[in-house]
């Protein structure tokens, strides 16, 4: 090739090697230097441009690493064949749709999601976070145990024993960034399980995760004391997903009889398992807590999933799963390569939050705050008399009401909405499209204060009066 | 039934309702009260025991919710049929194997995993964390956007534009708790994609995630400037996983020619995609950074995955994925129900870390620290002369060396290990069991200090001298 006609700018801010690199790259891209052309040797180009040899070396190294030229041993540098099918400078086409959600006006929102953050112990949280960061515990920034840090698992283990009567060891606990993640991990673990039995209505998110993980779902009958085990037997299901302490959304508590039947079913075949989602068991307002199903299982057939989303906060993204021995061995063998998904600092904060007693105090406080709200909701609703039936009271952060005024679910919701109140459709929790209740709605109360609850329900009382024909 | 012969302890710490509940429960479990037996009404039992009516109500409510008794409307309370197949008090059988790993003696460990935490800006990290927690931003404890908080996505978007020449919008970015998680999410999204093409050797974790998600993997030829696109064409693959800026483990940089060929391949069919894992592109020591493949793609065929594991710390568990428009629409439609996996506080900390310039300063500092270590490794290794060949230098946190002394990979590693040095087998990164190099090892340098690097390599030089026959 001819000598490169490059004029270097010694005074500019661009390094010399980069000027050389840019020049040659542009000459190649524009076709001025053709493919297969031999470039001058680094030594001769350096002499020609009056720069050091290493400057040219750096430019050539960059051109090689980006594939514009190649070094042929004992021969020299050659321009590569570049089929520039895509113009690098062409603006990228975009079919962008702006996805911000419209801002909603201020409503009294009986959402079943979220918690009351008014009483969150920010002070303690800050204190623990500070003290952990102050210690400069460098190891907390390095990779940790794929199942989660041992201290946190030990504290969760103690908590489960005290509060839920669950006997496990820290070795059987896996921490993860939320229930969706842990259930996805579980689906990966259980890839021989094809069919999962679920109640209907049920927790939609679990259904969606199973479906997204290519599991088939069969819905089975539910009676007033829990899932109908006989109807599971009539399916191909090898796994069943239940919430024995407080079914979502109906609030049913599974009876001891049903629990035993379910364990018996699981024991009839190898590799049959029960997933117990114990999502809000911390909040039971009247009577003693309902013990976990895993607590009465001596046969290692229950997969227990718990979360800090309700008991601490949704945004900390922390859940835990207790696996039976057989599955834990499978986990170690098959999928323990998966990195832990929760940051080690967050794990250390929550671990200390449990260990120093803050978690227990916080739970007791929140239980009493939610109990007051719950009781207020129930006493206000009871003023509607026979107009409504209440389901799933005494626990959790929501209830279901059936409104017997002739209105459909949609009419109930639309009319409430027009009056500035949001209540939620029960029908969306049915996974087989065969909802039994066409006139029931879900009302959460965690995020509302007392006056909002009272105002909201008194408005509902007015607009749901038995004159459904007007709408 | 006969009257309950219960003696209440008015002075004890156990509430009266619980004494009643416990007594009746035990009587039922022991069979002393038979199933179908009618219990006394709450009113008459209260009178009999001389307690308030509400005390008995609470005991009965608890017994109902646990399934021991049921309330038959207009009739009264009846004991349920309980097939106590599993004895609640039987100790749980355990087949526990203790899983703690043996403690290893102090070695000079050339691990390719982990980073140098000596220079981590703990002070700034603490300052940002404190200021965020001090503001008591309650919304940070509530559920957030499933794709990640908009501020963080905006900052990542700017960073990708500045540093990687990637043009995207915050709307196309999804934050997630690590690459394993994001790739799992991607597999859920791409469930019509059955076959993925990979290089061999490659990043094992990606291979494991794909396999755990039921994808078939085909390995294709790799040339010295990257993947052989013709050999992808001979497979059924609709997706290819590559690391164009710095292939793991070999350190190859994909040439511009190969990049264009790959984009052409992807454009030959609808729903063909390229996964670009840009895991350590921040650390390039000589020459300019290699731009991302996504930066030259105008056809929306590249799925970009980046991580803060190398650039900030592995333990913060934060990665990001940029999706093409078609896949983003599919995500919104199919799997946006998945909750975000990174805590909102962590998101806020990293967002501020980028926004206030700390990230850039940290990267520049670490690049210079790693460059010194890299150069020290290379210059020390070069003293071995023809005994070794070095691959993948000038970038990243590891290199590969081929040792031409007649020893096998295993001999090289065993001999090093016996002398207190850990180096890592390249063979483990081959996914088809057909490794080409039987005498190559991986050496990471991020976690070692200068004297460890010098000492380690001088020992290796001694023990790997050309007398392989002795071992």
Q: Which residue of A has its CA nearest to B291?
A: A66
Provide the 3-class DSSP secondary structure of residue A72: strand
The b/e string for A96-130 (b: 16+ C-beta within 10 A; e otherwise) is: eeeeeeeeeeeebbbbbbbbbbeebbbebbbebbe
- CA distance linking residue B47 with residue B265, whole number of Å: 85
Q: Tell me whether residues B288 and A62 touch, CB distance under 8 A.
A: yes
Can you list the pairs that A4-7 forms with residues at least 24 positions away whose Cβ atoms lie under 8 Å?
A4/A40, A4/A45, A4/A48, A4/A49, A6/A49
B108-115+362-470 CATH:
3.90.1150.10
Question: H helices of A30-142, where?
Answer: 42-49, 53-65, 122-134
Supply the pLDDT for residue B34: 81
Task: Tell me which of A443 and B27 has the higher pLDDT.
Answer: A443
> Which of A126, A325, A343 minimises the CB distance to B343?
A343
Task: Report pLDDT digits (tens) over B3-15.
Answer: 577 778 877 777 8
How many CA atoms does the CB half-sphere of B65 hold within 13 Å?
Answer: 28
Supply the pLDDT for residue A358: 93
- CA distance linking residue B205 with residue B192, whole number of Å: 22
What distances in angstroms separate CA A337 from CA A189, A292, B202, B303, one per listed residue? 12, 30, 15, 23
Q: What percent of chain B has pLDDT over 70?
A: 92
Residue B29, exposed/middle/buried by CB under 10 A (0-12, 13-18, 19+)? middle
Q: Do domains A1-94 and A122-360 have the same CATH topology?
A: no
pLDDT at B88 over 50: no
Q: Which positions ≥6 away from B170 have C-beta within 8 Å?
A: B150, B153, B154, B156, B157
Q: Tell me whether residues A67 and B254 touch, CB distance under 8 A.
A: yes
Residues of A with Cβ-Cβ distance to B173 under 8 angstroms: none
Domain at B1-94, CATH from 3.10.640.10, 3.90.470.20, 1.10.10.10, 3.90.1580.10: 1.10.10.10
Mean pLDDT of chain A: 88
- The distance from CA B3 to its chain's CA centroid, rounded to whole angstroms, is 61
Give the pTM.
Answer: 0.78
Candidate from A378-387, B44-53, B123-132, B161-170 with smallest mean pLDDT: B44-53
What distances in angstroms separate CA B410 from CA B96, B109, B458, one per listed residue? 33, 16, 20
Candidate from A52-61, A89-98, B157-166, B343-352 with smallest mean pLDDT: A89-98
To the nearest whole Å, the CA of A89 is away from the closest chain B CA by 8
Residues of B with Cβ-Cβ distance to A87 under 8 angstroms: 298
Q: Tell me whether residues A70 and B225 touch, CB distance under 8 A.
A: yes
Sole residue written with tokens 């419209």: A102
DSSP secondary structure code for residue B227 in this structure: E
Q: Which residue of B has its CA nearest to A84?
A: B260
Average pLDDT over residues A23-47: 83
- CA distance linking residue B142 with residue B134, whole number of Å: 17
Q: What percent of chain A has pLDDT over 70?
A: 91
- CA distance linking residue B453 with residue A156, whole number of Å: 41
Q: What is the largest CA-CA distance in chain B?
A: 99
**A451 interfaces chain B, CB cutoff of 8 Å:** no
- CA distance linking residue B387 with residue B381, whole number of Å: 9
What distances in angstroms separate CA B439 from CA A84, B131, B436, one per listed residue? 38, 52, 9
B216: β partners: B195
Provide the 3-class DSSP secondary structure of residue B401: strand
Residues of B with Cβ-Cβ distance to A343 under 8 angstroms: 315-318, 342-343, 346
Residues of A with Cβ-Cβ distance to B290 under 8 angstroms: 65-66
Q: How confident is the model at residue B43 (pLDDT cuts 50, 70, 90)?
A: confident
Residue B417 in contact with residue B430, Cβ under 8 Å?
A: no
- CA distance linking residue B115 with residue B100, whole number of Å: 24
Supply the pLDDT for residue A470: 43
Average pLDDT over residues A338-362: 94
Domain B122-360 in this protein, CATH class:
alpha beta
**A98 interfaces chain B, CB cutoff of 8 Å:** yes
Provide the 3-class DSSP secondary structure of residue B67: coil
Task: Report pLDDT digits (tens) over B324-363.
Answer: 999 999 999 999 999 999 999 999 999 999 999 999 999 9
Q: How confident is the model at residue A217 (pLDDT cuts 50, 70, 90)?
A: very high
Q: Which of A56-60, A97-101, A128-132 has the highest mean pLDDT?
A: A128-132
Candidate from A129-138, A148-157, A407-416 with smallest mean pLDDT: A129-138
Residues of A with Cβ-Cβ distance to B98 under 8 angstroms: 171
Candidate from B80-89, B223-232, B391-400 with smallest mean pLDDT: B80-89
Average pLDDT over residues B186-214: 94
Q: Domain segments of chain A: what residues?
A: 1-94, 108-115+362-470, 122-360
pLDDT at B376 over 90: yes
Task: Tell me which of A433 and A251 has the higher pLDDT.
Answer: A251
Supply the pLDDT for residue B423: 97
Q: Which positions ≥6 away from A339 have C-beta within 8 Å?
A: A143, A146, B178, B179, B180, B205, B314, B317
> Which of A86, A87, A257 minimises the CB distance to B67?
A257
Q: Which two tokens stand for residue B314?
A: 């592995």
Candidate from A288-302, B101-115, B145-159 with smallest mean pLDDT: B101-115
Q: How confident is the model at residue A90 (pLDDT cuts 50, 70, 90)?
A: very low
Residues of B with Cβ-Cβ distance to A279 under 8 angstroms: none
**B258 interfaces chain A, CB cutoff of 8 Å:** yes
Instruction: Pick the closest to residue A344 from A94, A184, A107, A129 (CA basis).
Output: A129
pLDDT at A352 over 90: yes
Residues of A with Cβ-Cβ distance to B300 under 8 angstroms: 92-93
Interface test with B, best of A256, A336, A366 (most B CBs within 10 A): A256
**B393 interfaces chain A, CB cutoff of 8 Å:** no
Supply the pLDDT for residue B104: 52
Q: Is the ipTM of this complex over 0.90?
A: no
Residues of B with Cβ-Cβ distance to A229 under 8 angstroms: none
> Which of A126, A214, A298 minimises the CB distance to B133?
A126
Supply the pLDDT for residue B92: 39
Supply the pLDDT for residue A140: 86
pLDDT at A95 over 60: no
To the nearest whole Å, the CA of B250 is away from the closest chain A CA by 14
B284: β partners: B395
Residue A370 in contact with residue A401, Cβ under 8 Å?
A: no
pLDDT at A401 over 50: yes
Instruction: Pick the closest to residue A164 from A287, A255, A286, A288 (CA basis).
Output: A288
Interface test with B, best of A315, A339, A389 (most B CBs within 10 A): A315
Q: Which two tokens stand for residue B326?
A: 């078609």
Mean pLDDT of chain B: 88
């Amino acid at each position: 090739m001819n000598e490169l006609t490059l004029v270097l700018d010694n005074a500019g801010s661009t390094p010399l090697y980069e000027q050389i690199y840019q020049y040659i790259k542009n000459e190649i891209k524009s076709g001025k230097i053709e493919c297969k052309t031999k470039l001058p040797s680094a030594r001769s180009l350096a002499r020609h441009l009056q720069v050091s040899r290493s400057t040219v070396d750096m430019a050539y190294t960059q051109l090689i690493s980006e594939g514009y030229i190649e070094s042929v041993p004992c021969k020299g540098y050659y321009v590569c064949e570049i089929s520039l099918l895509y113009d690098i400078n062409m603006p990228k086409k975009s079919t962008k749709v702006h996805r911000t959600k419209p801002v909603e006006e201020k409503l009294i929102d009986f959402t079943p999601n979220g918690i009351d953050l008014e009483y969150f112990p920010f002070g303690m949280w800050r204190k623990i976070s500070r003290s952990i960061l102050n210690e400069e515990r460098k190891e907390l920034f390095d990779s940790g145990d794929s199942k989660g840090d041992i201290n946190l698992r030990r504290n969760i283990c103690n908590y489960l024993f005290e509060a839920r009567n669950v006997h496990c060891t820290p070795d059987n606990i896996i921490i993860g960034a939320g229930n969706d993640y842990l259930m996805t991990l579980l689906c990966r673990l259980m890839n021989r399980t094809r069919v999962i039995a679920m109640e209907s209505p049920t927790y939609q998110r679990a259904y969606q995760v199973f479906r997204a993980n290519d599991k088939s779902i069969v819905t089975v009958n539910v009676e007033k004391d829990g899932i109908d085990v006989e109807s599971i037997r009539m399916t191909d299901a090898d796994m069943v997903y239940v919430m024995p302490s407080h079914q979502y959304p109906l609030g049913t508590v599974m009876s001891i009889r049903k629990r035993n039947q379910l364990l018996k079913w699981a024991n009839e075949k190898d590799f049959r398992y029960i997933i117990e989602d114990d999502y809000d068991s911390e909040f039971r307002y009247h009577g003693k807590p309902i013990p976990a199903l895993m607590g009465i299982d001596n046969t290692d057939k229950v997969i227990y999933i718990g979360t800090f989303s309700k008991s601490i906060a949704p945004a900390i993204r922390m859940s835990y799963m207790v696996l039976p021995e057989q599955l834990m061995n499978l986990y170690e063998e098959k999928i323990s390569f998966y990195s832990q998904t929760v940051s080690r600092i967050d794990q250390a904060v929550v671990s200390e939050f449990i260990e120093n007693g803050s978690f227990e105090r916080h739970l007791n406080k929140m239980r009493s705050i939610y109990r007051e709200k719950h009781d207020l909701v129930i006493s206000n609703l009871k003023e509607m008399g026979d107009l409504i039936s209440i389901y799933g009271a005494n626990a959790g952060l929501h209830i279901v009401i059936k409104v017997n005024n002739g209105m459909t679910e949609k009419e109930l919701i639309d009319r409430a909405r027009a009056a500035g109140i949001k209540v939620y459709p029960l029908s969306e929790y049915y996974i087989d499209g065969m909802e039994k209740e066409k006139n029931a709605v879900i009302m959460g109360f965690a995020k509302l204060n007392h006056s909002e609850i009272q105002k909201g329900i008194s408005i509902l009382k007015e607009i749901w009066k038995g004159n459904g024909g007007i709408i």
